[in-house]
Amino acid sequence: MSNSSITTGFFEHAAAEILETYGHRVKIGRKSLHKFGRNEDAGTSETEIVAFGSTPVRSTTNSIDTVSSSNATDTQTLRVEGCTIVGNVLTEVIQNVTLTGQTKKLLDTPLSRVTRIANVTNATATLGDVYAYEDTTISAGVPTDPATIGNKMTIEAQSTLLAGTSVGSTNYLILCNAYSYLGKKQSAVANINLETNLVGFVPRTILQAGIGTYRNMDHDFFPFYIVRPNSDILITSLSDTLAVDITAGFSGFYADIIN
C-alpha cells in the first residue's frame, strides 16, 4: 500500500471520527500548517518555546492592538495572522500592517492572539525585531513590559518563532507530527510538553518527551490527533539548567467545517 493511500485512509478516519464525536462534517485539504519556535534562553521553570522571554498574550478581549519595530527605518508592510475573540469563540484574521519604524502603529483589527508575523511581500528585510502587543510604554520601539507582547518577529527569521497556534471556530486541526531538539550542542536535558487548551477550559497535555544532547523528540501521530475548534496549541520546556537553546514545532492539516 502506498504512503498516499495510508494518508488518505487516516484522513477519512479523522473525518469520520469528527462526525461521530462532535457532529460536524468536514472537508480536509484546503490548507496545511507548519509551526515552529525557538527559545534560546529556556531554563528550570516551565516556559513556552517562543523567541522572547515571556508567555504570549492570549487575551479574553481583543487587546493586542499595536505594532512597532526596534529600528526607526523600518517601513515594510508585514502580514499579521491571529484570532479575534467573542466569548469563547475564536475567529481567524489575516491582515497587513505597514510599519512606521519605532513609532506605534495600530492594527486595523485588534486581536486576542497573534499566531504569526511574517515579512512575505518585501524585497528587503526589516532591520529591527517587530512586536505586536497590547498598547503600553515602549523604548526604541520595544515594549517595556514583556507581559504585553502577543508575538515577536525576529530580524534573523523575518517571521515569528512560536511553537504554538490557535484554531478558529470553523476548523479542526489534524496534527501529523511534533518535534523538539537542542538548538546548539549543549550538555543539557529538558522535558517537552505539547498541550491543547479549549478556550475557557483547563489545558490538556497530549504529548510529553525528554530531549538531550544526543536525544531528540520526533513524534508522528498515527492515527492523527484531532484538535477541536476554539483551541490553543503550545509547546513548553522544563530544563535541568539555565540558558538552554530549544527548538520545537508541529505540523498538520486543517479540516473545515461544512455543516
Q: State pLDDT tens for residues 134-151.
A: 999 999 999 999 999 999
pLDDT surpasses 60 at 221: yes
Bridge partners for 193 per DSSP: 208, 236
The C-alpha cell of 19 is what? Answer: 462526525
Count up the domains in the chain and report the number: 2
End residue of a domain, out of 153, 177, 193: 153
58-97 per-position pLDDT tens digit: 999 999 999 999 999 999 999 999 999 999 999 999 999 9
Same domain for 181 and 120, yes or no, is: no
Which residue range forms the structural domain that includes residue 23? 3-49+164-257
Say whether 91 sits in a helix, a strand or coil. Answer: strand
Q: Using CA atoms, how far apart are residues 129 and 159, in angstroms rounded to an integer?
A: 9
Q: Which pLDDT belongs to residue 1?
A: 41
What average pLDDT does range 190-207 have in this prediction?
A: 96
What single-letter DSSP state applies at residue 56?
Answer: P
DSSP category for residue 50? B
Distance CA 37, CA 25 (A): 32
Closest to 126 (Cα-Cα) out of 95, 160, 88: 160
Q: What percent of the chain has pLDDT over 90?
A: 88
Which of 121, 153, 185 corresponds to the end of one domain? 153
Q: Assess if residue 123 is contained within a domain.
A: yes
Q: Is residue 58 part of a domain?
A: no
Domain boundary among 97, 130, 153: 153
**Prior bond of 223 cis (ω within 30°):** yes
